[in-house]
Amino acid sequence: MAVGGATRTLPWSWYVDPAALRLEQERIFGRLWQYAGRTDEVAEPGSFRATRVGHVPVVLVRDEEDELRAFLNVCRHRGSIVCEGSGKRSTLQCPYHAWTYGLDGRLITAPRSNREGGIETSDLGLLQLRAETWGPFVFVSPDADAGPLADFLEDVPERIASAGVDVDALRFLQRSESEIRANWKICVENFLECYHCPVAHPGFSAVVDVSPDSYLLEATTNRMSQYGPPRPEPRGAYDLTGEVERGQFHFLFPNTVINVMPGRPNLSIGPIFPLEPERTYRHLDYLVAPDAPQDWIEELLAFDAQVGAEDTRLVERVQEGVRSGLIDEGRLLPESERLVAHFQTLLVDTLA
């Protein structure tokens, strides 16, 4: 499934094909590190939070020893989801037939199993997944053999710290969720280029210098980053006063987005993953410096929501176009769209 030259896009059939999605679920979302939530969601021993990485249901748990764990949120009996939402409990009980698991994942009781036999409870604990943290951010990998999270993050933590953002000091504001009628890869590819910014994001482009000589693109193995300095004379509705000089927009393959806007210390982080071939879920957790003033916070959120709404329209239009089936593939500009090309190469290599 090689992609022709560097200037050709992926085959457009990959944006609609259920078989492509199944392969991505198996080789990408079923294996790689993905953002799963925040440590404050499971702060106390006994607290749990249901989440997911791609199509994989996950429950984050803070056990009695204060250790953060992640389990596949799937009952070993007949496969029901075990936990929904969040809460605090001393055990995790499946709502279907009340199989009950300890916070360490062990199966404690399976009603009637003593009377009937046939169930080896010691073999049937919740499947533990890899979970590691960077500051308040929890990442999960369904692959027990995944490398350390630090390798996956590359130098993103240092870049964000050196921009004046101390992730441990940030205050969580809100989670903004969206469902988009487009393939997840179209959403990722849209994030990875700012070629469209002058055309499609007038508000963003009034604040950030999106000209090709100022707006920097950088790709390493796993990380695709964009750096946007403020315009020499910003003329937008967003106040750039603060210690962060330049916007940083990182993407960690396969699906984690990390944004820092210029201005006061801030960060937004979240996943982009497929629900169906032509439907995508994403969210962003917004965090800001504890002393950030309320009017600036509202300005930041409104500014970002505007850009997000513009992007949703763009990617949904692309989906409509690529699903027409009469053209096999598109073209990429070698410089302005080189992060898109990088993502597509990583994707092809990972699926191979």
Under the rule (CB under 6 A), what is the footprint of ligand FES? 75, 77-78, 80, 94, 96-97, 99
Tell the smallest beta-carbon distance from residue 79 to ligand FES (Å): 6
Give the integer Cα–Cα distance in Å for 274 and 114.
Answer: 42
Residue 311 lies near Fe ion (rule: CB under 5 A): yes
Q: Which amino acid is at 79?
A: G
Tell the smallest beta-carbon distance from residue 26 to ligand FES (Å): 24
Contacts of 343 (CB under 8 A, 6+ apart): 185, 188, 189, 192, 224, 251, 253
118 burial type by CB count under 10 A (0-12 exposed, 13-18 middle, 19+ buried): exposed
Tell the smallest beta-carbon distance from residue 34 to ligand FES (Å): 25
Among Fe ion, ligand FES, none, what does residue 78 contact (CB within 5–8 Å per kind)? Answer: ligand FES
Q: Is 78 or 181 the residue whose CB approaches ligand FES more closely? A: 78
Q: Is 16 or 124 the residue whose CB approaches ligand FES more closely? A: 124
Q: Is 110 or 341 the residue whose CB approaches ligand FES more closely? A: 110
Q: Is 78 or 317 the residue whose CB approaches ligand FES more closely? A: 78
Give the integer Cα–Cα distance in Å for 204 and 188.
Answer: 18
Among Fe ion, ligand FES, none, what does residue 193 contact (CB within 5–8 Å per kind)? Answer: none
Give the integer Cα–Cα distance in Å for 107 and 46.
Answer: 16
Q: How many residues bind Fe ion (CB under 5 A)?
A: 1
Among Fe ion, ligand FES, none, what does residue 311 contact (CB within 5–8 Å per kind)? Answer: Fe ion
Give the integer Cα–Cα distance in Å for 55 and 27.
Answer: 12
Q: Is 97 or 331 the residue whose CB approaches ligand FES more closely? A: 97
Tell the smallest beta-carbon distance from residue 248 to Fe ion (Å): 15
Strand, helix or coil for residue 113: helix
Among ligand FES, Fe ion, none, what does residue 96 contact (CB within 5–8 Å per kind)? Answer: ligand FES
Residue 159: phi and psi, rounded to 5, are: -65, -40
Q: What are the C-alpha distances in Å from 40 to residues 60, 136, 138?
A: 11, 7, 10
Tell the smallest beta-carbon distance from residue 107 to Fe ion (Å): 47
Kindly provide the b/e burial profile for residues 27-45, where b requires at least 16 CB atoms within 10 angstroms of the residue's own CB: ebbebbbbbbbbbebbeee
Q: Is 13 or 109 the residue whose CB approaches ligand FES more closely? A: 109
Write the DSSP assignment of 167-208 as a string of letters: GGG-EEEEEEEEEESS-HHHHHHHHT--TTHHHH-HHHHHHB
Residue 337 lies near Fe ion (rule: CB under 5 A): no
Residue 189 lies near Fe ion (rule: CB under 5 A): no
Which residues make up the interface to Fe ion (CB under 5 A)? 311
